[in-house]
């Protein structure tokens, strides 16, 4: 009986470390990245579009709304969940050589 409980505990621990822990760490990293999102960041959307964050609106009720510019004058509205990754933070863009400020 004790051996089967030990085996069950080992299987549960393996399941946690192999499957659950990496997913939880990835979610934590994504939440941190999205909380640091600022106007001017270059991002890739979950649909694969490159865009620049132009506005972030936080409401008391309802979702946070972001405005992305995908081309000059072409704006998209969405939620932070639409962002796949941040490719270039705004502060790094301002220090890029060759970029007129």
pLDDT tens sequence across 58-91 = 888 888 899 999 999 999 999 988 898 888 777 7
Per-domain residue ranges of the chain: 1-35, 37-101
Residue 62 has a pLDDT of 84
**Whether 43 contacts 86, CB under 8 Å:** yes
Instruction: Spell out the CATH class of 37-101.
Output: mainly beta
When pLDDT is cut at 50, 70 and 90, the band that residue 101 belongs to is very low
pTM of the model: 0.65
Over 50: is that where the pLDDT of 19 sits?
yes
Q: Which two tokens stand for residue 67?
A: 């405005």
Please give the C-alpha separations between residue 52 and each of 9, 28, 58, 90, in angstroms, as whole numbers. 48, 23, 18, 9
| pLDDT above 90 coverage of the chain, percent | 43
pLDDT class for 92, splitting at 50, 70, 90? low
Contact 76, 70 (CB under 8 A): yes
């Amino acid at each position: 009986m004790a051996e089967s409980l030990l085996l069950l505990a080992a299987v549960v621990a393996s399941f946690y470390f192999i499957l659950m822990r990496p997913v939880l760490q990835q979610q934590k990293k994504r939440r941190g990245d999205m909380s640091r999102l600022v106007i001017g960041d270059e991002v890739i959307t979950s649909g694969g579009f490159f865009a620049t964050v132009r506005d972030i609106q936080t409401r008391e009720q309802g979702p946070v709304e972001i405005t992305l510019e995908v081309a000059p004058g072409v704006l998209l509205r969405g939620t932070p969940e639409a962002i796949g990754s941040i490719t270039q933070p705004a502060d790094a863009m301002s220090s890029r050589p060759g970029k007129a400020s």
